[in-house]
Structure 1
């Protein structure tokens, strides 16, 4: 049976999300900022959760209608036959987001949707599910536009960027699906040397190693769809077995990482070790300004610090020219990519980007800059 879904993703990666959904068997894919509507059977939903490196959540649409007041939304939620979707023993959480909704209180709308779910259960079963805002079995999402309300059941559970691999977290870690998207935007392929010289907790390294070894991003975690009444365990085990069959044993894959902070290096080592990916990556403690290229040519990807306070901005303004000089000196023949919210970076590095892509890190407006480093000077004689 074909169902309607909505997949969310980091803004700027919608085209890559559509590729993932198509690969999972989705039809009628319609992208919009931050996600894509699509249709598909449950096998498509399972496969998208399992294999998409870009999606954040896969939401199942269960109701949609125009509204004027909160009571209309209550009636819409009440019309859903919730006991057919999941057991009363399942805990739940309700979240509501809106764009240009005339209603004044989203908290009240959230409460009315929750009341409707519980009232429908009580009328059908004589019992009501419990609410758990911290670790619910299932999440119900309401989305309001100026005139319509759509109600979804989240099939993912924990956000899909949480691969279940990262143990140690450093300050301001990059989300895994954003890191995977950055790697794909510039067409990095396994076998091409890859270096993250400011690796932090190792997010780029983890994603690159999984890609190189054919490890599906959702192969080692649980999903909310496993708690739905319609869950097809046989189908899921078949998809999971196919994913595991495609995995390669961890081995050196020309993936390199470095950081000048020993705490970050230890965190990256712990994360790679926990994920069983340590043999695929070479990791050292080193400053990017002193780092030699690990191969004659390759791809560098980095997420340098942005700087929020004036003192940090001044430090970065002094650091960027040194970084530009280090790239010219040590990384001729490399394509170097920097993801940052600091739009001063190219000018202060004294390098002209060959490409720049607007992306968002949460609500933060960022740019992904590419610098093609060539031997000698770029200037014409």
Structure 2
């Protein structure tokens, strides 16, 4: 099946270093990509040719942007030749132009990539000769068209490389040190260390072992909103026959304007140091070529002299560095003291700073004497490496943390050990997926019956939300309080959090959407604390960890929201019992053209409106309705039939709110609710129905009228509790 290039939406693949797939997907989404699918070292996406140009110009993480012409099954060399020769290469390349090919992969018949490249070249050349009477030249450097082919078993992907040279080659780095860090990997380290947020808040960036300055320059490009591709001499699409030069020139002009605005502002302090004066001369040349003289400064200084710059007041920010880690044992032993000295300087002179150390030898990283609160597995070329993140607490906080660690009882130590284990498993999974809010612990130890959820804000601050499940009546209240105290101490010790960042609530045993019965989520819990902003798949959402039983974001529904987002492109969307409308935000960012979100709570409607504003949703296209959903559904039968392509129905298990005209019981009432929703679906539309009643049973009669498909939408952090919610998709039978 091959792509028709006259279609508005084209299929693309962005390649990247291993470990950056999640970051790259979020970056592409922010640039306007849709239909994103991650695979090892690549992200597939859809969009226009203009989007591909924008990605080439603005992606800080991709290696290449490939325009996919099609995927075919081949078993033999003849199949390969025929598949390639079928494509209209005369629409992409002048007959006498310059051609180059990249071929990777093998199968039983095509046993080496060189043979595959030769057969591909023959097919393209023969096709052009037959069509035009001329043949292209095979030229490696600066070809007019580069064709990229990837063979995996019997599947062949055929694409045009729009990038030219790898996109990590920005054009500013003509001189490099002994162990260069690629530009896109440096950008990934900065993103993982939350440099954009720190820079926006006026925080500084320092690199005590800056080498040729790659981290510093990438940090300045981000802070000044400079497109990383602006300095490149050429891209692979510029001699492509379908090149749209007017669009490209518009994008370049926009990027130049944004650069001028960015450099017109005062940037955060960005400084680098190194003990080797020779490598600093390379850094200075690279900084000048990037147009950042006076914005990025470097100075010759050993690690022992590393300190906060004293020439001006510098707000605490980020120390990020890629120190040497040695390939031989003798080198590693010598480096231990360097790392230890760095740790001493950080602990003594940088209270309140965030620290990131990227190393291929994590043991050296821990020679700093610092304890990492987060780490990311990445690759520096082919070398498995880790980015270790640390928080340098003020001395008073460090003393408190040490006290917490040494005073754990045997019982609390048992809980702490489980929390550490979960951080190594669930925590690593969340890091890989770019998930900032997740469940770390869910009554893993039965006698410590509570849930611990972690929320990391857009600014990088970590909070723990501890919800105690109501203990059985057979458990003495004093013993229950002691267990809660053990759990609190364990959380403080393992996460190294100040007490103010741990919020404790008693969790009722009824469903988390059960209205007001028994003290439900509508009951205000406390006045202290302020709302926080967190991110989920690129969406900014407000959470409140203090005032209500629920925080505004049901973490177990994260994959449901993702599913709705991936299903919403070009569709009209209805969200019933919408709560804070986080599902609507995800659907809107996924491309839904119009939405209606209904809930009877004024508190949650206001909350939803704030979520909409944070994500720049048009209130005329995305409507919030304060109403009893049961009444709204009844009235909608008359004037909204067939209006929605996608409906999300997520009612409470039970509600007898005084605002409702009748009691809602989801087991009793779900058939009527579903019938009403199905009348509102447009032809080909789908209803996603969810509830949290663990004993719920779907009425079998619905399967005789509609296609009913159960959806398994539960992320790893909720696998201990697989019945926490039920989800089905229904469509016309």
Q: TM-score range by the shorter chain?
A: over 0.9
Q: What's the counterpart of residue 15 of structure 2?
A: 8
CA distance in 2, matches of 1:313, 1:323: 15
Deviation for aligned residue 1:62: 1.4
**Separation of aligned partners in 1, 2:89 and 2:332:** 52
Tell me the distance in 1 between the aligned counterparts of 2:315 and 2:32.
Answer: 40
Deviation per CA, 1:279-324: give whole Å up to 9, x if none: 1112111112211123352101000112112321221233322222
Matched, 1:211 2:222: yes
Q: Which deviates further from its counterpart, 358-367 or 246-255?
A: 246-255
Indicate the residue corresponding to 2:284 in structure 1: 269
Per-residue CA distance 1:26-74 (angstroms, 9 max, x = gap):
2111111211111111111111111111111000111321111122111
Question: Over the residues paired in the alignment, what is the CA RMSD in angstroms?
Answer: 1.7
Q: Secondary structure at the match of 2:96?
A: coil
Partner residue in 2 for 1:234: 246
Check if 1:193 corresponds to 2:204: yes
Structure 2 residue 79 is the aligned partner of structure 1 residue 72? yes
Residue 332 of structure 1 aligns to a residue in which SS? Answer: coil
Deviates more, 1:29-38 or 1:214-223: 214-223
2:363 is aligned to 344
> What's the TM-score once normalised by structure 2's chain length?
0.50
**Residues 96, 325 of structure 1: alpha-carbon distance in 2 compared, 3 angstrom cutoff:** same
Query: Aligned ranges for residues 36-115 of structure 1 at < 5 Å?
Result: 36-98=43-105, 103-115=110-122
SS in 1 for 2:72: strand
Counterparts of 1:354-365 in structure 2 under 5 Å? 354-365=373-384
The structure 1 residue matched to 2:163, chosen from 156, 166, 174, is 156
Q: Is the 8 A contact 1:101 1:145 kept in 2?
A: no
Residue-by-residue CA offset, 1:130-184 (whole Å, 9 max, x unaligned): 1122443332111011120111110010111111111211112111111111111
Q: Does 1:176 align with 2:183?
A: yes
Q: Contact 1:43/1:235 (CA < 8 Å) preserved in 2?
A: yes
1:202-351 equivalences in 2 (<5 Å)? 202-221=213-232, 222-247=234-259, 248-249=262-263, 253-294=268-309, 295=314, 297-351=316-370
Question: 1:209: how far off?
Answer: 1.1
Report if aligned partners of 2:93, 2:144 keep a CA contact under 8 Å in 1. no
Q: Is the 8 A contact 1:20 1:48 kept in 2?
A: no
Q: Equivalent of 2:154, from 147, 161, 172? A: 147
> SS of the residue aligned with 1:278?
coil
Distance in 2 separating the partners of 1:117 and 1:33: 29
**SS where residue 52 of structure 2 aligns?**
helix
Cα distance, 1:268 vs. partner? Answer: 0.6
Distance 1:32 1:350, change over 3 A: same
Question: 1:328 Cα deviation (Å)?
Answer: 1.4
- How far off its partner does 1:128 sit? 1.1
The answer as to 2:403 corresponding to 1:380 is: yes
Moved more, 366-375 or 342-351: 342-351
Using the size of structure 1 for normalisation, the TM-score is: 0.95
Deviates more, 1:89-98 or 1:27-36: 89-98
Q: Is the 1:338–1:370 Cα contact (8 Å) retained in structure 2?
A: yes
8 Å contact from structure 1 (residues 259, 287) kept in 2: yes
Q: CA deviation at 1:350?
A: 2.3
- 2:303–2:341 contact (8 Å) kept in structure 1: no
1:301 and 1:99 map into 2 onto residues whose CA distance is 41
Distance 1:99 1:332 in 2: 54
Q: If you compute each CA radius of gyration, which structure gives the higher value, 1 or 2?
A: 2
CA contact (8 A) 1:340 1:366 kept: yes
4+ runs of 1 displaced by more than 6 Å?
Answer: 99-102
CA contact (8 A) 1:63 1:77 kept: no
* Alignment match, 1:128: 135
Count of residue correspondences: 381
Unmatched segments (≥5 aa) in structure 2: 1-7, 405-733
SS in structure 2 at match of 1:380: helix
> For 2:326 and 2:371, how far apart are their aligned partners in 1?
22
How far apart are the structure 2 equivalents of 1:243 and 1:342? 38
> Bigger CA drift: 285-294 or 257-266?
285-294
Listed as ranges, the gaps of 5+ residues in structure 1 are: none
Between 1 and 2, higher relative CO (CA 8 Å, sep ≥ 6) is seen in 1
